[in-house]
């Protein structure tokens, strides 16, 4: 297979016609299995497309919603958390993006050298669940928007009103079909969706920002304070934001493996993800506080975009743009979930796996429909992400950059008894450190110092990275002294 290099690739193959003149022949786009090393001739995602993918990924309903969720830390506190937690998360995103570019495989295949060929199945399963969960969260918020559109157009009951289950289920079916259309051609359709979607979601962002700031001055928003019983500690807000941002990290190599340069694999996703999340989280923060100033009641459970847009009186056009924002985000979620499946089995083709997880996500959307509080479900989901992924990321980054010194042998990724086989296919050191990291996260999550300062996620990443590096250091060999 072709090896990733710093040189720009050619997405076209040079051939000669009958006269001997060189001509360029475009190579057919292929969707690769998780463990396949993508050759340079197939690396056709450029710098702008990579920015568009990550702007589309984060200019979404959930980014808005997570901003509204941490508004309980007050405006100043929420902005500070956004500007501290996210740059750290997206630096880690850039590191994993670099790994994807250099090695050429998916993120879950990159767990094989650390966890073992069979051991990588566990993080793969959890990662698939995470991205399915995100697809469900984003799509469910869009379905809420659809219910308000149906209410305006046909007089049907909107989400939260008696009899709204029927319109919500119809919205779930429609969104599932839209998601299927968006991922129908793999990364080619993703590029098309993101190029169109980036324009529409930016229009939505400008519109909402302008309307909110017209209704409420920044002075009033800055001065607002949540009720004492709903005030969110800084550490809790950092964990919520970090869990949200870090969830993308384990899907970035699915796209950077198709990039031609280091800059496209690292700088582009960092810029796209960071700028768009900071902006849309800001929109969520000021919208939620604005709604509290308007109604006199702060209810974080109403921080979903559909409720906020309705409270601001923006109408069904804004709600329709929220639906578009959902689709641009879900193509990333569903691509990552589908490709992850192929890390544990090659019996399903990559594109078919993507279609399969899209249908499964549509079925799972029925779950939050019958939850009492969507905010509680969302927060619980983020806590799960923080617990299992923070420890995993520490091991993954430490293994590539510190233990194996940026040298992975893709040819060994599938070899039973090879260098990544370990004990019956599992690296017990990595699994043990991951387990210790989860316990460590759970323990410090109940310590006031961490919950009022740093949160639990970043200390867990640091601890597991250091611990794994220490126990995985090659044993020093000393020459026997001659007598």
DSSP per residue, 115-144? H-TTTTHHHHHHHHHHHHHHHHHHHHHHHH
**Phi/psi of residue 27, each to 5°?**
-85, 140
Structure tokens at 395: 């091991």
DSSP per residue, 25-94? EEPPP-PPPTTSPPPGGG----HHHHHHHHHHHHSSHHHHHHHHHGGGG-HHHHHHHHHHHHHHHHHHHH
Total domains, the chain:
1
Bridge pairing between strands 12-16 and 22-26: antiparallel
How far out from the chain centre does Cα 73 lie? 23
What crossing angle do the helices spanning 47-58 and 262-295 adopt, rounded to 10°? 30
Residue 266 domain-assigned (yes or no) = yes
State which H helix or E strand residue 468 sits in: helix 457-472
| Contact yes or no for 32/38 (Cβ under 8 A) | yes
pLDDT in tens, 359-401: 999 998 888 777 766 656 666 777 777 788 889 999 999 999 9
* Model confidence at 312: pLDDT above 90: no
In three-state secondary structure terms, 19 is coil
Q: If you ran DSSP here, which 8-state letter would residue 400 be given?
A: I
Region 430-450: what's the mean pLDDT?
95
**CA pair distance 269, 282, nearest whole angstrom:** 20
Closest CA to 247 of 402, 387, 104: 387
Whole domain around residue 167: which residue ranges?
A: 44-380
Q: How far is CA 201 from CA 55, 223, 302, 481, in A?
A: 9, 29, 21, 70
What pLDDT is attached to residue 193?
A: 81
Residue 470 domain-assigned (yes or no) = no
| Contact yes or no for 413/117 (Cβ under 8 A) | yes
**CA pair distance 250, 96, nearest whole angstrom:** 8
Residue 284 domain-assigned (yes or no) = yes
Region 216-220: what's the mean pLDDT?
86
In three-state secondary structure terms, 14 is strand
What pLDDT is attached to residue 458?
A: 96
**CA pair distance 297, 185, nearest whole angstrom:** 46
pLDDT in tens, 63-88: 888 898 899 999 999 999 999 999 99
Residue 224 domain-assigned (yes or no) = yes
What pLDDT is attached to residue 473?
A: 81
Structure tokens at 165: 């289950």
Residue 74 domain-assigned (yes or no) = yes
Neighbouring C-beta atoms of residue 218, cutoff 10 Å: 11
Secondary structure (H, E, C), 213-235:
HHHCCHHHHHHCCCCHHHCCCHH
pLDDT class for 444, splitting at 50, 70, 90? very high
Q: If you ran DSSP here, which 8-state letter would residue 22 be given?
A: E
Residue 18 domain-assigned (yes or no) = no
Q: Which ranges constitute the DSSP H helices of 155-233?
A: 165-182, 187-215, 218-223
What pLDDT is attached to residue 3?
A: 42
Residue 158 domain-assigned (yes or no) = yes
Residue 393 domain-assigned (yes or no) = no
Q: Any idea what the Cα angle at residue 459 is, between residues 400 and 225, rounded to 5°?
A: 135
Q: Which ranges constitute the DSSP H helices of 296-410?
A: 305-312, 316-341, 350-364, 366-369, 374-398
What pLDDT is attached to residue 459?
A: 96
Q: Which of 93-102, 117-126, 196-205, 303-312 has the lowest mean pLDDT?
A: 303-312
**What is the CATH number for 102?**
1.10.4160.10
* Model confidence at 230: pLDDT above 50: yes
The model's pTM is 0.85
The length of the chain, given as a count of residues = 483
**CA pair distance 390, 434, nearest whole angstrom:** 9
């Amino acid at each position: 297979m072709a090896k990733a290099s710093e040189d720009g690739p050619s997405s076209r193959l040079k051939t000669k016609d009958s006269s001997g003149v060189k001509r360029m022949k475009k190579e057919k786009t292929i969707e690769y299995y998780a463990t396949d090393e993508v050759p340079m001739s197939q690396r056709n995602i450029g710098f702008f497309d990579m920015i568009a993918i990550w702007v589309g990924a984060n200019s979404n309903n959930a980014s808005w919603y997570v901003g509204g969720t941490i508004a309980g830390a007050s405006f100043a506190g929420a902005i500070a958390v956004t500007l501290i937690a996210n740059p750290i998360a997206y630096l880690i995103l850039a590191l994993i993006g670099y790994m994807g570019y250099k090695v050429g495989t998916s993120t879950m295949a990159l767990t094989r050298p650390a966890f073992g060929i069979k051991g990588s199945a566990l993080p793969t399963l959890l990662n698939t669940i995470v991205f399915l969960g995100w697809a469900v969260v984003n799509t469910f918020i869009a379905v809420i928007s659809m219910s308000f559109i149906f209410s305006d157009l046909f007089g049907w009951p909107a989400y939260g009103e008696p009899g709204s289950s029927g319109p919500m289920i119809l919205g779930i079916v429609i969104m599932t079909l839209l998601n299927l259309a968006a991922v129908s051609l793999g990364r080619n359709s993703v590029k098309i969706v993101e190029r169109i979607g980036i324009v529409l979601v930016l229009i939505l962002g400008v519109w909402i920002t302008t309307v909110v700031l017209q209704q409420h001055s920044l002075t009033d928003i800055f001065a607002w304070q949540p009720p004492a019983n709903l005030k969110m500690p800084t550490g809790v807000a950092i964990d919520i934001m970090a869990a949200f941002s870090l969830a993308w990290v384990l899907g970035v190599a699915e796209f950077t493996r198709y990039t031609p340069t280091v800059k496209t694999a690292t700088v582009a996703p960092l810029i796209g993800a960071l700028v768009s999340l900071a902006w849309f989280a800001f929109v969520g923060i000021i919208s939620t506080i604005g709604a509290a100033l308007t109604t006199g009641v702060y209810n974080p459970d109403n921080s979903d975009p559909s409720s906020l847009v309705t409270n601001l009186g923006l109408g069904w056009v804004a709600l329709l743009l929220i639906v578009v924002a959902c689709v641009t985000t879900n193509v990333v979620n569903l691509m990552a979930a589908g490709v992850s499946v192929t890390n544990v089995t090659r019996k399903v083709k990559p594109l078919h796996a993507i279609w399969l997880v899209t249908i499964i996500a549509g079925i799972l959307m029925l779950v939050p429909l019958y939850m009492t509080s969507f905010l509680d479900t969302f927060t619980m989901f983020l806590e799960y992400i923080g617990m299992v992924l923070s420890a995993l990321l520490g091991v993954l980054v430490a293994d590539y950059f510190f233990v194996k010194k940026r040298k992975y042998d893709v040819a060994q990724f599938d070899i039973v008894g090879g260098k990544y086989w370990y004990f019956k296919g599992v690296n017990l050191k990595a699994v043990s450190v991951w387990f210790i990291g989860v316990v460590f996260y759970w323990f410090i999550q109940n310590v006031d110092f961490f919950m009022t300062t740093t949160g639990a996620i970043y200390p867990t990443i640091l601890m597991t990275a250091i611990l794994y590096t220490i126990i995985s250091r090659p044993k020093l060999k000393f020459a026997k002294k001659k007598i």
